[in-house]
Structure 1
Amino acid sequence: MKLSTKLASLFAAGVMLASFAAHAQQVLRVSAIPDEAPTELQRKFKPLGEYLAKKTGLKVEFTPVTDYAASVEGLINNKLDMVWFGGFTFVQANDRSKGKVVPLVQRVEDEKFRSVFITTSPTIKTLADLKGKTLSFGSESSTSGHLMPRSFLLQAKIDPDSDLKRIAFSGAHDATVAAVSGGKVDAGALNISVWEKLVSEKKVDTSKVRVFYTTPAYYDYNWTVRTDMPADLKKKITDAFLTLDPNTPEGKEILDLQRATRFIPTKASNYTAIEAAAQNAGLLKK
């Protein structure tokens, strides 16, 4: 093959690669921890995805993941560009990537988030009453469905692994409510936002299932990207969230679906208490 032909071939290959790279950058790959049913996550994200596409000029694709660990691995291994993390999954991603992820925004509600403990048993009125009983958490990697409820149990001198008859992991907050309602466990711990949503939608019988303990507040959910995302794209995404207006039909629909009053900026240092709780609970190596 002549040198000129070789050069032409290499040039053509280079153009194709550049074109492919440019095309790849036209897609914003988004996911979320699977703390609710996949159909619910898709429903909640659809108008937000359309809004982000308009604000960034990118095609926005939502990809559900099988479990919490997959959301962490997907982001740090460059298979996802932005993920809705809980506080603990952000800490895990930050730890696994050695600081190469950054949280952009959180709901104002996530500055003072809480978990609730629920039961159908009339004899369970305090955390101490859980001794010898069965309890369901959500996912093992859930902040509000496992880590923080476990942390507050430990602070109350109750070791879930030795003081309870049995602990289970339902995999998601709504599944925890179903387990308690169905009598599979004596009690359950979940995110207060999902509990309030299920109550408002009359998907739980509050004459049978009740909250007997609400935790103190802690930082929780956020939207996280990798630190290597171009600065201008980070700004476009951040500005898109910060300018969501509840007084417009579009903004109201998105904020209502996200169960948010508004979004505010956040930073990694907000999650140091979550990291410490994870270490103290033995869920994250020091």
Structure 2
Amino acid sequence: MRRSAWLCALSATIATLLASCGQKPDAAATGDWRSGIKEVRMAVSGSNDDPMIVRRRGVYQAHLAKALGLPVKLYESSDYNGVIQALSSGQVDLAQMAGGSYANVDAQVGELVAPILSLRQAEGGTGYYSSIVVRADSPYRSVADLKGRSLAYVDFNSTSGYLVPRAKLREQGIDPDTYFGKTGFAGGHTQAVMSLANGQFDAAILQASGGDPEHGFSRGALHTMARRGLVEVEDFRIIWTAGPIPSEAFVVRTDRPQPMIDLVRGAMGALPYDEPDLWPELGQLDGSAYTSVNRDHYKDIIALRAADLAQRRGQGGRP
């Protein structure tokens, strides 16, 4: 095929894709998906006090802006729900979120939002763990020791800090709504660590990664806090784990131009290869990379969320 004919065919394909995404006729006709788009908006959550999180956001922002040929604006939220609502309402184009948050979005808007990428570890795994953690100087060494004691959840929309551990405890014959003497929401993994360290709760549920229950973990909330010099890992003890849980995803609005979605997928997938020296500085393990995923990757989390909501409604909405 001659080059001119190939270009015509390519332009026709792009025009068709853009038309299916609801673009204006003039934008579709020219094949310029950027027409009328001033910036790409990405929602992020997490503490601005953690230099690793701030660094990672900045790298993602610069990398995507270069690939997309448009400014990327970050919409920051201090909690999970802010990102969920921004994505569900269409205020942002993409976000990075855990499975439980995506399940919330899926329940609200369905196919208008889809996961496209998730982190794959060097050994091929695509998950992390939920853990129940106590202070090392406490007498608690099993969940049985925590009956009637206090437990801190992370957030109602947290996958590892609420949704999965509650489901797994029920599978073990423990009703988390009646087994513990007091439960509460810390508001985030950092806050959960501090509430445990300060004695506000007897135990806390935290994310753990970079390993497994048999060999231990090298990443997660405790290790993040330790790197900041706020706690010592040795001052805490993991007494229960559940997982692996599907890793968080890059999620996009599907009513955005398909070429934009494809560029986001390609740019983030290429990041560890385009920036091999920067990748470990972002807190990512050597050999890890992003892999393509879709809704089916999170179907179990979606089902767990629906079941937990049904359970809570049956008990009058008690957390």
The answer to whether the superposition gives a TM-score over 0.5 is: yes
Matched, 1:270 2:314: no
Partner of 1:244: 271
Secondary structure at 1:274 match in 2: helix
Match of 1:18 in 2: none
Aligned to 2:23: none
Q: 2:48 aligns with which of 35, 38, 59?
A: 38
Q: What secondary structure sits across from 1:216 in the alignment?
A: strand
| Partner Cα distance (2:151, 2:299) in 1 | 27
1:225 to 2:252 alignment = yes
- Describe the superposition over 1:176-206 as per-residue Cα deviations: whole angstroms up to 9, x where unpaired: 1111111110000111123333345553223
Count of matched residue positions in the alignment of Structure 1 and Structure 2: 262
1:107 aligned to 2:134?
no
Secondary structure of the residue aligned to 2:278 is helix
Aligned positions of 1:253-264 closer than 5 A: 253-254=278-279, 256-257=281-282, 259=284, 261-264=288-291
Q: Deviations over 1:102-148 (max 9, x none)?
A: 11111114722211211015321122222111010111111111111
| Aligned match for 2:153, one of 137, 162, 172 | 137
Q: Hey, what's the Cα distance between the residues in 2 that align with 1:53 and 1:73?
A: 23
Residue number among 152, 158, 162 corresponding to 2:178 in the alignment: 162
Question: Following the alignment from structure 1 to structure 2, what is the Cα–Cα distance between the partners of residues 283 and 199?
Answer: 38
Quote the Cα distance in structure 1 between the aligned partners of 2:85 and 2:309. Answer: 21
SS of aligned partner of 2:77 = coil
Structure 2's unaligned 5+ residue stretches are 1-25, 27-32, 209-219, 314-319
Question: Aligned to 1:98, which of 91, 97, 110?
Answer: 110
Contact 1:153–1:160 (Cα < 8 Å) also in 2 = yes
- Show the counterpart of 2:131: 116
1:36-115 equivalent positions in 2, closer than 5 A: 36-40=46-50, 41-109=53-121, 111-115=126-130
Partner of 2:240: 213
Which range moved further: 226-235 or 68-77?
A: 68-77
Query: Hey, what's the Cα distance between the residues in 2 that align with 1:235 and 1:99?
Result: 17
**Kept in 1: contact 2:160–2:245 (CA 8 A):** no
Letter in 2 for 1:280: A
214 and 266 in structure 1: CA distance in 2 versus 1, 3 angstrom threshold: same
Q: Deviation at 1:255? A: 5.3
SS at match of 1:116: strand
- The whole-number CA distance in structure 2 between the counterparts of 1:118 and 1:75 is 32
- Note the aligned Cα RMSD (angstroms): 2.4
CA distance in 2, matches of 1:258, 1:228: 32
Shift of 1:24: 5.5
Identity %: 22
In structure 2, what is the Cα distance between the partners aligned to 1:183 and 1:75?
36
Q: Point out the more displaced range, 151-160 or 38-47.
A: 38-47
Please state how far the C-alpha of 1:283 moved relative to its aligned partner: 6.3
The answer to whether the Cα contact below 8 Å between 1:38 and 1:64 also exists between their aligned partners in 2 is no
Which residue identity is paired with 1:64? E
Tell me which moved more, 103-112 or 174-183: 103-112
Between 213-222 and 263-272, report the one with greater CA deviation: 213-222
In 2, distance between residues paired with 1:236 and 1:81? 13
1:282 aligns with 2:309: yes
| Deviation of the 1:217 alpha carbon | 0.8
- The TM-score with structure 1 as length reference comes to 0.83
Distance 1:39 1:200, change over 3 A: closer
Alpha-carbon shift at residue 160 of structure 1 (Å): 2.0
Range 118-127 or range 252-261, more displaced = 252-261
Query: Deviation string for 1:71-130 (max 9, x for gaps)?
Result: 122112221111111101111111100321111111114722211211015321122222
Which one-letter code corresponds to 1:37 in the other structure?
A: S
Which amino acid in 1 is paired with 2:112?
K
